[in-house]
Amino acid sequence: MIGRIAGIILHRAQDHVLIDVRGVGYIVHISERTAAGLPPAGQAAALYTELLVREDLLQLFGFPTLLEKEWHRLLTSVQGVGAKVSLAILGTLGPDGLARALALGDWSALKKSPGVGPKLAQRIAMELKDKAPAVMALGGSLTVDPGPLPDVEVIETVAPSKSAPAARPDSSAQATADALSALSNLGYAPSEAAGAVAEASGREPDATTTALIRAALRLLAPKE
């Protein structure tokens, strides 16, 4: 099983990238969102990967974080959602947008993705609503990108750029995970807590954990 690819980008397209790993080129299929975040050809890059094995086909699919890879696995557990449809959804919504859509049962948001019709969107929302909180709870612990190999030689095919800063956990994902944990400790059911946190984070994307918990609690409070 190939779980991670790190090397030099030889070619980058909207839906795939060719990465040279010590003389061997790997084609890795990616979402448009992931492609937009990769460096240009000639630069070092790394992706977490999922290997699709069929009788007549071997394909690698790449993700910038382990959290996004987990969302991909969850999406492809739904009948009718293949790897390419999953990438289309992640490319359209991103991990945070997908988490909100599933937690709120918002199938109309899922329908915005290429290749996802109303029936499939409703099936995804229905089947994954109760499973989404488990992935949301992983949060920032899985959001650090893999980073390139330290000894990879960069091919200067483009103007040199400043080194990228060290990857940090995604604060939004971490705040979501912490808020879910706090609400769970208060006795709220996972799906109930996830829905409130998703709605709160949708209103305030940059909210701190404390602010997110307070906002979620207001949403969960009994209505008079």
Q: Return the percentage of the chain with pLDDT > 90, whole number.
A: 49
Check whether residue 30 and residue 55 sit in a common domain. Answer: yes
pLDDT of residue 166: 37
Range in 40-44, 111-115, 148-152 with the lowest mean pLDDT: 148-152
Integer CA distances (angstroms), 114 to 40, 51, 81, 128, in order: 26, 22, 12, 19
80 vs 124: CA distance, rounded Å: 9
Measured from the Cβ of residue 70, the count of other Cβ atoms closer than 10 Å reads 18
DSSP label of 24: E
Q: What CATH number corresponds to the domain at position 207?
A: 1.10.8.10
pLDDT of residue 165: 37
161 pLDDT more than 80: no
Q: Return the bridge partners of 7, or none.
A: 45
Q: Does any domain span residue 156? A: no
Domain end, chosen from 63, 93, 114, is at: 63
Domain end, chosen from 117, 140, 163, is at: 140
195 pLDDT more than 80: yes
The model's pLDDT over 72-92, given as tens digits with 9 standing for 90+, comes to 999 999 999 999 999 999 999
Q: Which two tokens stand for residue 23?
A: 């003389």
The model's pLDDT over 2-54, given as tens digits with 9 standing for 90+, comes to 889 999 999 999 899 999 999 999 999 999 999 999 999 999 999 999 998 88
Average pLDDT over residues 126-150: 73
- Mean pLDDT, the chain, integer: 84
Check whether residue 179 and residue 207 sit in a common domain. Answer: yes
Helix (H, G, I), strand (E, B) or coil at 119: helix
Question: Looking at the chain, how many residues does it have?
Answer: 224
Domain end, chosen from 140, 163, 195, is at: 140
Q: How many domains does the chain have?
A: 3
pLDDT of residue 218: 85
